[in-house]
Structure 1
Amino acid sequence: MNHDAYATLRVSHKDGIAHVTLDNPPVNVLDATLMADLRHLLTALRDDASVRVIVFASADPEFFIAHVDMSIGDTPDVLEELATGLPDGVNVFQALGELLRHQPQVTIVKLAGAARGGGAEFVTAADMAFAAIGRAGLGQIEALMGIVPGGGGTQYLAGRIGRNRALEAVLGADLYDAETAERYGWVNRAVPADQLDDVVDRLARDIAALPEGVIAAAKRALAPEDLTEGLLREHDAWAGQVVSPAAGRLIRGGLAHGAQTRDGERDLEGLLRGLAGQAAVDVVPGQEARASAT
């Protein structure tokens, strides 16, 4: 396997553990290149018996995966290429999460920065996640763009934290800190930032050193839930919203006001809430009067 074949990943392999570092400046957006690299890597590792554990980290201390590239809809040919050969019943974003969720190796996310939208979906699709206190953040921000999660987020979240808290996360669209994410069950554990590497690396080494067959047996006994129907419902809900004029305005406005730049991403929720609030007051003349009369 050629670990140098990826434009957005740095991969090393030692003692049964593949360490994967995401490196897609400026803020690690989940663009077509990163999605393709992750899919190619996971597919290549599926049949690699020398790898028992895959640990994902980020080269950027502030951002794990910022979110799906907000401009990806402007390149339909890229999306069509990504959709080539996908299994039935999933879109290009769900396909990545499902590939990760069904990986034969144990997958662990070392979360030391923010993961929103598609980034949060990736974290939730992994077998385990450990979050750095004071640095990590998780959020499904899609509602502030006029859409809903479309990469498995609704289904993965409901399984992890329950329907009530999943609705809170999806519709509240806040960024959850490590301690809250741990309390909700979104991550395995919140740990001090200076201990994150040690905690995850020790666990990965312990798992990789287990006797032959134990990992496969455990993953067979604790098989991922079949989400076929739920993913179809999610895709229909997302597809119905993403084509709306309101979503288009919010996504374009977000990009124009600093989304996918380092400054804009540090408070993306505030940036998008400001745009949504402005849109709410930019009504057609006379509309307020008509509304108050009804």
Structure 2
Amino acid sequence: MALETLDVRGEGPVLFAAITSPPMNLLGPELVRDLVSLIQTAEADGDVRVLVFSSADPDYFISHVDVTQIARYRAEAAKLVGEPSIGLLFRRLAESRLVSIAQIEGRVRGAGSEFVLACDMRFAARESAVFCQFEQAFGAIPGAGGVQQLTRLMGRARALEVMLSAQDYDAELAERYGWINRALPGAELPDFVRSLAHRIAGFPAAAHVMLKERVNAITLASTEEFRRDSDLFGEGMSSPEGASRIKGAIRHGFQTRDAELDLPRMLGVLAEDAEEPRSDT
């Protein structure tokens, strides 16, 4: 499978897909296009049962969406789900007959976090994985399932803390809050995930489908709720304040690899800028 932003290899019924979208694994139209192709191809292959997602970049799993390409990446998502929404694309992954596992090293923020939340299981490197939902810093809400998934996983208070604070959370705290299944030493993570993926793939595929349908009936928010969050995200990001904050963030290095290593500091600078009194002259 030749894809521009995913390095895919198969081991029998398990497909391993490493995200390779330099300079910082932004979720843009190319990566969304390749995710659509991967899901379509894997689902059409009756021998594939488990998808494992990882990153070839030790610092970034998926950083977040490319805010300069929102219309384009939404158009790519529509090719699978019929609507311009990565939230519905991620919900489609959660509904898939395939079992999906995220093997997380590096930063996973914004829609990157929402992508791993759509996966059936999430395992993270204790030393390097970092999680964040920062949309509030731009006057928006998570628009690709984060509100729905985090509230169900963490409960009301912790979900509000995570989303309102726009702070980074390390793997150990993410595990404690329920964001991920487990935090593991980075050296042990690949073998653990590989062993689990093959164990699951060895069980009857029809039972996977049956179990996922029943669990999703209890835990997966409706399509209408995903649509609503997607619309609210778009409204927030395109509002005058949202657009102004995006411009300010880009001036401070937003969407550049080195500057986003410490994204919370940058978001704090944006808040300080917004609070500065304006001259009447």
TM-score range, shorter chain: over 0.9
SS at match of 2:65: coil
Aligned residue in 1 for 2:148: 155
Q: Does 1:258 align with 2:250?
A: no
What amino acid maps onto 2:145 in structure 1? Answer: G
Aligned residue in 1 for 2:132: 139
SS at match of 2:25: coil
1:121–1:71 CA distance, 2 compared to 1 (3 A): same
Displacement of 1:212: 4.8
Aligned residue in 1 for 2:43: 46
Task: Provide the rounded CA distance (Å) in 1 between the counterparts of 2:187 and 2:80.
Answer: 40
Q: Does 1:112 align with 2:105?
A: yes
Aligned residue in 2 for 1:272: 267
Alignment of 1:59-78 (within 5 A): 59-73=56-70, 76=71, 78=72
1:83–1:34 CA distance, 2 compared to 1 (3 A): closer
Q: Does 1:29 align with 2:29?
A: no
Q: Does 1:281 align with 2:247?
A: no
Of residues 213, 219, 223, the one that matches 1:220 is 213
Aligned residue in 1 for 2:53: 56
* Greater shift in the superposed pair: 250-259 or 235-244: 235-244
Aligned residue in 1 for 2:238: 243
SS at match of 2:233: helix
Pairwise CA RMSD of aligned residues? 1.9
Displacement of 1:237: 2.4
* Aligned residues with identical type, % of pairs: 38
Task: Provide the rounded CA distance (Å) in 2 between the counterparts of 1:268 and 1:229.
Answer: 31
C-alpha offsets along residues 45-66 of structure 1, whole Å, 9 cap, x if unaligned? 1222111110000000010000
Cα pair 1:112 1:131 within 8 Å, conserved: yes
Cα pair 1:182 1:190 within 8 Å, conserved: yes
Q: TM-score of the superposition, structure 2-length normalised?
A: 0.93
What amino acid maps onto 1:59 in structure 2? Answer: A
1:83–1:27 CA distance, 2 compared to 1 (3 A): closer
Task: Provide the rounded CA distance (Å) in 1 between the counterparts of 2:277 and 2:86.
Answer: 33
Q: Does 1:82 align with 2:76?
A: yes
SS at match of 1:262: coil
Structure 1: gaps spanning 5 or more residues: 287-294
* Greater shift in the superposed pair: 204-213 or 175-184: 204-213
Displacement of 1:213: 2.9
1:211–1:103 CA distance, 2 compared to 1 (3 A): closer
SS at match of 1:213: helix
SS at match of 1:193: coil
Task: Provide the rounded CA distance (Å) in 2 between the counterparts of 1:255 and 1:103.
Answer: 36
Q: What is the total number of aligned residue pairs between the two structures?
A: 279
Cα pair 1:133 1:179 within 8 Å, conserved: yes
What amino acid maps onto 1:262 in structure 2? Answer: R
1:135–1:84 CA distance, 2 compared to 1 (3 A): closer
Q: Does 1:8 align with 2:5?
A: yes
Task: Provide the rounded CA distance (Å) in 2 between the counterparts of 1:82 and 1:194.
Answer: 35
Structure 2: gaps spanning 5 or more residues: none
Cα pair 1:250 1:272 within 8 Å, conserved: no
C-alpha offsets along residues 102-144 of structure 1, whole Å, 9 cap, x if unaligned? 1211100000111000100001110000011120011101111
What amino acid maps onto 2:28 in structure 1? Answer: D
Cα pair 1:178 1:190 within 8 Å, conserved: yes
Q: TM-score of the superposition, structure 1-length normalised?
A: 0.89
SS at match of 1:64: strand
SS at match of 1:223: helix
What amino acid maps onto 2:267 in structure 1? Answer: L
Of residues 14, 17, 38, the one that matches 1:17 is 14
Displacement of 1:284: 4.3
Instruction: Return the index of the structure with the highest Cα Rg.
Output: 1
